[in-house]
Amino acid sequence: MDRKSEEKRVQMKNILSTFLQRNRKLIPLWATAILALTAYAIGASLFVGMRNPQVFLNLFRNSSYLLISAIGMTFVIITGGIDLSVAGVVALTSVSSAVLLREGMDPWLVVTLMLLMGMFLGAIMGSFITYLKVQPFIATLAGLWFTRGMCFFISDNAVTIDHPTFQILGKTKIFIPGMMEYYVGQGRPAPYITIPVVVGFLLLGFAIYMAHYTRIGRTIYAIGGNEGRNEQSARLMGLRVDQTKMLVYTFNGFCSALAGLAFSVFVFSGHGLYAPGMELDVIASVVMGGTMLTGGSGYVFGTLFGVMVLAVTQALIQFIGSLSSWWTKIVIGALTLIFIGVQTIIRNRKTQRQTTTVEEEEVTLRKKRRNLWVGIGALTFGLILIAVAVTQALPSRNQATPESTQCKVAPFRETEAAQLILEGAALVYHRTAGPECVDQLFAIFPDGRVTGTAGGQTLEKQVTAAEVEQLLTAISIDHQWFTNEIYSTYLNPCRQCYAHFISISFDGQVKAATGVDGTTAMPPGYAFALAEIRPLLPVFQSSE
Amino acid sequence: MKKPTKQPFSWRRITESRLFFPLVALFLILLFDFIFIPGFFAIESRDGNLRGSLIDIFRNGSTVMLLALGMTLVIATGGVDLSVGAVMAIAASTAGILMNPSALRNEVFFVTDPSYTFQPLWLVIIAALAIAVLCGMWNGFLVAYMRIQPMVATLILMIAGRGIAQLITNGLRVQITYKPYWFIGQGWMIVPFSLYIVAIVFAFSWLMTRKTSIGMFIESVGINFRSSFFSGINEKRIKMLVYVFCAFCAGIAGLVASSNIKTSDSNNIGLTTELDAILAVVIGGTAMSGGRFSLLASMIGALVMQAITQTMYAIGVPAFALQAVKSVVVIIVILLYSRQVRGFIQWIGNPKKSAYK
CATH code at position B170: 1.10.3470
Confidence band for B199, pLDDT divided at 50, 70 and 90: very high
Question: Which pLDDT score, from 0 to 100, does residue A330 have?
Answer: 80
Reduced DSSP (H G I as helix, E B as strand, rest coil) percent helix, strand, coil of chain A, to 5: 65, 10, 25
Mean pLDDT for the stretch of residues B2-14: 61
- Contacts for B48-56: CB closer than 8 Å, 24+ residues apart: B48/B190, B49/B188, B49/B189, B49/B190, B49/B191, B50/B188, B50/B190, B50/B191, B53/B310, B53/B314, B55/B191, B55/B192, B56/B310
| Minimum mean pLDDT range among A193-207, A524-538, B301-315 | A524-538
Same domain membership, residue B325 and residue B266: no
Mean pLDDT for the stretch of residues B108-131: 80
Residue B92 contacts A, CB cutoff 8 Å: no
Q: What is the pTM of this model?
A: 0.74
Confidence band for A333, pLDDT divided at 50, 70 and 90: confident
Examine the pLDDT at A369 and tell me if it is beyond 60: yes
Question: Which pLDDT score, from 0 to 100, does residue A96 have?
Answer: 94
Q: Which of A253, A280, A307 is the last residue of a domain?
A: A307
Same domain membership, residue B192 and residue B328: no
Mean pLDDT for the stretch of residues B30-51: 80
Same domain membership, residue A421 and residue A302: no
Question: Which pLDDT score, from 0 to 100, does residue A424 have?
Answer: 82
Same domain membership, residue B334 and residue B280: no
Percent of chain B predicted with pLDDT > 70: 89
Total domain count for chain A? 2
Show Cβ contacts of residue B169 under 8 Å, excluding neighbours closer than 6 positions.
B93, B96, B97, B103, B264, B266
Question: Which pLDDT score, from 0 to 100, does residue A393 have?
Answer: 55
Least Cα distance to A85 among A112, A63, A118, A131 occurs for: A118
Question: Which pLDDT score, from 0 to 100, does residue B140 have?
Answer: 94
Q: Which of A307, A323, A352 is the last residue of a domain?
A: A307
Least Cα distance to B139 among B243, B246, B277, B245 occurs for: B243
Question: Which pLDDT score, from 0 to 100, does residue A380 have?
Answer: 74
Same domain membership, residue B239 and residue B142: yes
Mean pLDDT for the stretch of residues A293-305: 87
Question: Which pLDDT score, from 0 to 100, does residue B251 have?
Answer: 96
Least Cα distance to A483 among A532, A425, A441, A524 occurs for: A524
CATH of the domain at A513: 3.30.1560.10
Of B163, B323, B327, the CB nearest to A330: B163
Q: Are A265 and A166 in contact (CB under 8 A)?
A: yes
Same domain membership, residue B241 and residue B295: yes
Question: Which pLDDT score, from 0 to 100, does residue A520 have?
Answer: 42
Mind listing the pLDDT tens digit for each residue in A443-501?
888 888 888 888 778 888 888 888 888 888 888 777 777 776 676 766 666 555 677 88
Percent of chain A predicted with pLDDT > 70: 84
Distance in angstroms (rounded) separating the CA atoms of residues A377 and A499: 41
Residue A499 domain-assigned (yes or no): yes
Examine the pLDDT at A329 and tell me if it is beyond 70: yes
Residue B167 domain-assigned (yes or no): yes
CA A303-A305-A308 angle, 5° bins: 115
Which of B259, B289, B331 is the best residue to mutate to test the A interface, defined by the most A CB atoms within 10 Å of its own CB? B331
**A370 contacts in B (CB within 8 Å)?**
145-146
Question: Which pLDDT score, from 0 to 100, does residue A399 have?
Answer: 40
Mean pLDDT for the stretch of residues A360-364: 72
DSSP result, A444-481: E-TTSEEEEEETTEEEEEE--HHHHHHHHHIIIIIT-T
Residue B92 domain-assigned (yes or no): yes
Q: Reduced to 3 states, what is the DSSP secondary structure of residue B99? A: helix
Give the DSSP H/E element, type plus range, for residue B189: strand B188-189
Distance in angstroms (rounded) separating the CA atoms of residues B72 and A337: 25
Mean pLDDT for the stretch of residues A431-442: 77
Residue B1 domain-assigned (yes or no): no
Mean pLDDT for the stretch of residues B51-69: 89
Q: Do A324 and B80 touch (CB under 8 A)?
A: no
Show Cβ contacts of residue A488 under 8 Å, excluding neighbours closer than 6 positions.
A156, A157, A512, A513, A514, A515
Question: Which pLDDT score, from 0 to 100, does residue B18 have?
Answer: 73
Same domain membership, residue A282 and residue A162: yes
Q: Do A334 and B160 touch (CB under 8 A)?
A: yes
Q: Do A143 and B172 touch (CB under 8 A)?
A: no
Q: Do A327 and B163 touch (CB under 8 A)?
A: yes
Q: Reduced to 3 states, what is the DSSP secondary structure of residue A25? A: coil
Of A133, A153, A280, the CB nearest to B324: A153
**A145 contacts in B (CB within 8 Å)?**
272, 275, 323-324, 326-327, 330
Confidence band for A256, pLDDT divided at 50, 70 and 90: very high
Examine the pLDDT at B149 and tell me if it is beyond 50: yes
Residue A324 domain-assigned (yes or no): no
Q: Do B162 and A329 touch (CB under 8 A)?
A: yes
Same domain membership, residue A439 and residue A298: no
Which A positions 237-296 lie with beta carbon below 8 A of chain B? 272-273, 277, 280, 283-284, 293-294
Least Cα distance to A530 among A486, A494, A483, A495 occurs for: A486
Question: Which pLDDT score, from 0 to 100, does residue A13 have?
Answer: 79
Residue B44 domain-assigned (yes or no): no
Q: Do A333 and B148 touch (CB under 8 A)?
A: no
Nearest Cα of chain A lies from the Cα of B4 at a distance, in angstroms, of: 36
Q: Are A443 and A430 in contact (CB under 8 A)?
A: no
Residue A299 domain-assigned (yes or no): yes
Count interface pairs A-B at CB distance under 8 A.
143
**A344 contacts in B (CB within 8 Å)?**
146-148
Same domain membership, residue B339 and residue B301: no
Mind listing the pLDDT tens digit for each residue in B298-326?
999 999 888 888 888 888 777 777 878 88
Mean pLDDT score across all residues of chain A: 81
Instruction: Decide if the complex's ipTM is over 0.85.
Output: no
Q: Reduced to 3 states, what is the DSSP secondary structure of residue A484? A: coil
Distance in angstroms (rounded) separating the CA atoms of residues A323 and A331: 12
Range of the domain at B198: 63-316
Q: Which of A307, A328, A350 is the last residue of a domain?
A: A307
Distance in angstroms (rounded) separating the CA atoms of residues A9 and A5: 6
| Minimum mean pLDDT range among A284-288, A332-336, A407-411, B135-139 | A407-411
Residue B20 domain-assigned (yes or no): no
Least Cα distance to B64 among B257, B266, B211 occurs for: B257
Question: Which pLDDT score, from 0 to 100, does residue B276 have?
Answer: 86
Residue A336 contacts B, CB cutoff 8 Å: yes
Examine the pLDDT at B9 and tell me if it is beyond 80: no
Residue B110 contacts A, CB cutoff 8 Å: yes
Same domain membership, residue B251 and residue B116: yes
Question: Which pLDDT score, from 0 to 100, does residue A68 have?
Answer: 95
Q: Is residue B349 classed exposed, middle or buried when 0-12, 13-18 and 19+ CB atoms within 10 A define those classes?
A: middle
Range of the domain at A298: 69-172+188-307
Distance in angstroms (rounded) separating the CA atoms of residues A526 and A532: 10
Report phi then psi at B264, rounded to 5: -100, 95
Residue B163 domain-assigned (yes or no): yes
Mean pLDDT for the stretch of residues A55-84: 91
Q: Do B156 and A333 touch (CB under 8 A)?
A: yes
CA B202-B244-B256 angle, 5° bins: 55
Least Cα distance to A377 among B142, B134, B167, B245 occurs for: B142
Q: Where are the alpha helices (H) located in A394-464, listed in sequence order? A: 402-405, 414-422
Residue B262 contacts A, CB cutoff 8 Å: yes
Least Cα distance to B67 among B299, B330, B307, B271 occurs for: B299
Same domain membership, residue B299 and residue B285: yes
Residue B131 domain-assigned (yes or no): yes
Q: Are A280 and B158 in contact (CB under 8 A)?
A: yes
Nearest Cα of chain A lies from the Cα of B128 at a distance, in angstroms, of: 20
Tell me the one-letter amino acid at A21. Q
Distance in angstroms (rounded) separating the CA atoms of residues A91 and A270: 7
Q: Count of alpha carbons within 13 Å of B73, Cβ hemisphere only?
A: 30
Residue B355 contacts A, CB cutoff 8 Å: no
In chain B, which residue's Cα lies nearest the Cα of A124?
Answer: B331
Residue B294 domain-assigned (yes or no): yes
DSSP A190: P
Nearest Cα of chain A lies from the Cα of B132 at a distance, in angstroms, of: 17
Same domain membership, residue B88 and residue B175: yes
Distance in angstroms (rounded) separating the CA atoms of residues A125 and A148: 15
Distance in angstroms (rounded) separating the CA atoms of residues B330 and A61: 37
Mind listing the pLDDT tens digit for each residue in B222-262?
988 888 888 888 889 999 999 999 999 999 999 999 998 88
Q: Reduced to 3 states, what is the DSSP secondary structure of residue A290? A: coil
Same domain membership, residue B205 and residue B109: yes
Same domain membership, residue B268 and residue B203: yes
Q: Do B155 and A149 touch (CB under 8 A)?
A: no
Distance in angstroms (rounded) separating the CA atoms of residues A139 and A124: 9
Same domain membership, residue B237 and residue B122: yes
Examine the pLDDT at A401 and tell me if it is beyond 70: no
Total domain count for chain B? 2
Least Cα distance to A143 among B325, B277, B327 occurs for: B327
Residue B338 contacts A, CB cutoff 8 Å: yes
**B327 contacts in A (CB within 8 Å)?**
142-146, 149
Mind listing the pLDDT tens digit for each residue in B257-300?
999 888 888 878 887 788 889 889 988 888 888 888 999 999 99
